[in-house]
Structure 1
Amino acid sequence: MKAKLDLYRIFVEVAERKSLSKAKEHLFMSQPAISQALKQLEESLNQRLFHRESRGVELTTEGKVLYQYVKDALHLIDQGEKQLDAYQQLEAGELSIGVGDTVSKYYLLPFLQAFHERYPNVHFKIVNGTTLELLPLVKSGEVDFAVCNLPVTDPVIETKPCLEVRDVFVCGEKYHDNFSQPISIETLLTYPIISLEKKSNSRRFVENYLISKGFEYTPTFEIGSYDLLVEFAKINVGIAAVVRPFSDEAINRGEVYEVPLLEPLPTRHIGLCLKNNVPPSQAARTFMEMMNDDLKI
């Protein structure tokens, strides 16, 4: 662009008012300053843009051609700025979140509902996947952030713990009487185990912990759906590895029973995963602040 944007704004204002004296009232500039700006624009373009007359100014043929383009361009810029302002005020925009089905159902849904009620014009894009599947999307920017099973160890990813969870084992009526007293992990693993697939971060956490204790973790049933873990335990085909509080409802209703362990598994967290050193969008920042505020209550 040969001339500065401000010069084009002055040009359009004068062209529409057909008078420097009238234009100065809208530009909040002195008439000599406007005259100097127009001279600078004409010199930079090497074209005469106005005929100076006693009654005011009129566009030359070249000026009329330029005016149509500049007017449209400035209108587009103004619209772009208004759209950005709408994004900033969350009157528009998009929020893209990566999350697994289980975390979405048992943790994220209330936040989604509250955010949507407060900012109904922000469009949601929810991308489902395991933690391992979602992390590349965070890195590439395809999602603003992901809500994942921690821990996540990746130098490109920043994590923020949100919800403390505990991995436990549950059983149905058939095995309930066997566990009136806490048992060892070694005893637990003599029973058929129902677990999520290996690609699940929850499964990997349990497996890695047990391996660190010297045990081999070879589930009898590997399942892709978290909700089916409880259902399989209820029909007494084995002992299911589940997460509290996600399975609290089934446990509290007496549909399944937590197996007491002499050495319970350590707690971990559900948390936010963001790309390091990349500032989040206004929508993403506001959503994460809403989640943090809930934790402080």
Structure 2
Amino acid sequence: MALNFHQLHIFYTVAEKGSFSYAAQALHMTQPAVTMQVQALEDYFGIKLFHRSTKRIELTESGRTLIPYAKQSVDLIRETEIAMSKFTKMIEGRLQLGASLTMGEYILPRLLGPFSKDYPNISVSMKVMNTAQILDEVLSHQLNFGLVEAPIHHPDMYTEAVLSDELKLIVPADHPLALMDSVRMEDTLEYPFVLREQGSGTRRVMEEELTRRHIDFSSMKIIMELGSTGAIKSAVEAGLGISILSQTSVKHEVTLGLFKIITLEDIAFKRSFYAIYLNSTLLPISAVSFMTFLRQDNLSRWL
């Protein structure tokens, strides 16, 4: 019998999860199948890798020795798939992902077209949800991975920045500030603001940067908090207030002359969008190909 990667991956997942049953869920296998593969690996080396009891499992000394090598093999397979995905344009499969609101409504639709031209045999299924819902569905294996507006700090989750974005001051075309190309943040405080709700990725980026620059957030005249970028754009268009939004999300309105983007001289609201997926999961080649696509440096030509 030869040593194989599949068994090393299963062993690594069991060790990471601390349970054969949890590992089976993560790997979409039955628990007996997971146990059998670990036993086969133990038979190959002629040693025990786990101390088993009715309540828990623990790595043996030999198991602890094997862990870094198993992890290296998992990482190497991931890197290999990433490197080769750019050459496998005729792969087939289904891409299932979750995307937060700004990503799902304004950014990914512009990128899925070019991606589909490169990978015409990959079908795409995307859910647009908030970050908490995406995290839950990735953890429960309902989604391969998600794209969110803030890093996720979870022990089972891998997080990687894949796209950059900047929030800008957005005003109606007939607003007094529209006569200027740039203003200071304090110049905006006399005007009413329409913003995303507290807890949203967009709001959090704005609040954190204001705090970092020692600008009092409470000095803003927030007359309305809304749960979607689309609702905010409608409110701004109706003249209810000005806002701070992703410049990508207002591209259409700026082209039509409805909005003007104003540069803030003393502050910049920059952020990244993040891909998240389980540490123990090897993404399907369709997802690996999409991640490779997102890592390109020239995506801005479509945004």
Aligned to 1:195: 195
1:272 aligned counterpart, secondary structure: strand
Q: Is the 8 A contact 1:184 1:262 kept in 2?
A: yes
Aligned to 1:162: 162
Matching of residues 10-159 of structure 1 within 5 Å: 93-116=93-116, 122-159=122-159
Q: Measured at CA, do residues 290 and 261 of structure 1 come closer, stay the same or move farther in structure 2, by a change above 3 Å?
A: closer
Q: Measured at CA, do residues 254 and 113 of structure 1 come closer, stay the same or move farther in structure 2, by a change above 3 Å?
A: closer
Q: Measured at CA, do residues 99 and 211 of structure 1 come closer, stay the same or move farther in structure 2, by a change above 3 Å?
A: same
Q: Give, in whole Å, the separation in 1 of the partners of 2:122 and 2:177.
A: 52
TM-score (norm 1): 0.60
| Deviation string, structure 1 residues 59-118 (Cα, Å, up to 9, x no partner) | xxxxxxxxxxxxxxxxxxxxxxxxxxxxx9986643210013431232212443455556
Task: Give the C-alpha shift of residue 203 in structure 1.
Answer: 1.5
Q: Is the 8 A contact 1:95 1:125 kept in 2?
A: yes
Q: Measured at CA, do residues 116 and 261 of structure 1 come closer, stay the same or move farther in structure 2, by a change above 3 Å?
A: closer
Which residue type is aligned with residue 267 of structure 1? K
- Check if 1:244 corresponds to 2:247: yes
Aligned to 1:35: none
Q: Measured at CA, do residues 259 and 120 of structure 1 come closer, stay the same or move farther in structure 2, by a change above 3 Å?
A: closer
| Deviation string, structure 1 residues 124-182 (Cα, Å, up to 9, x no partner) | 33222122321222223221111111344444332222222111121114433476374
- Check if 1:264 corresponds to 2:267: yes
Task: Give unmatched runs, 5+ long, in structure 1.
Answer: 1-87
Q: Is the 8 A contact 1:90 1:283 kept in 2?
A: no
Q: Is the 8 A contact 2:105 2:128 kept in 1?
A: no
Q: Is the 8 A contact 2:167 2:245 kept in 1?
A: yes
Q: Give, in whole Å, the separation in 2 of the partners of 1:89 and 1:225.
A: 35
Q: Is the 8 A contact 1:130 1:201 kept in 2?
A: no
TM-score (norm 2): 0.59
Q: Is the 8 A contact 1:169 1:239 kept in 2?
A: yes
Identity %: 21
The structure with higher relative contact order (CA 8 Å, sep 6+) is: 2
Which is greater in Rg?
Answer: 1
Q: Is the 8 A contact 2:161 2:275 kept in 1?
A: yes
Which residue type is aligned with residue 109 of structure 2? L
Q: Measured at CA, do residues 211 and 201 of structure 1 come closer, stay the same or move farther in structure 2, by a change above 3 Å?
A: same
When the two structures are aligned, how many residues end up with a matched partner?
210
Which residue type is aligned with residue 107 of structure 1? I
1:107 aligned counterpart, secondary structure: helix
Task: Give the C-alpha shift of residue 195 in structure 1.
Answer: 0.9
RMSD of aligned Cα (Å): 3.1
Q: Measured at CA, do residues 289 and 186 of structure 1 come closer, stay the same or move farther in structure 2, by a change above 3 Å?
A: same
Q: Measured at CA, do residues 152 and 191 of structure 1 come closer, stay the same or move farther in structure 2, by a change above 3 Å?
A: farther
Task: Give the C-alpha shift of residue 259 in structure 1.
Answer: 3.2
Q: Measured at CA, do residues 114 and 252 of structure 1 come closer, stay the same or move farther in structure 2, by a change above 3 Å?
A: closer
Q: Which piece of structure 1 moves more, 228-237 or 169-178?
A: 169-178
Q: Is the 8 A contact 2:211 2:217 kept in 1?
A: yes
Q: Is the 8 A contact 1:229 1:241 kept in 2?
A: no
Task: Give the C-alpha shift of residue 243 in structure 1.
Answer: 0.6
1:220 aligned counterpart, secondary structure: strand
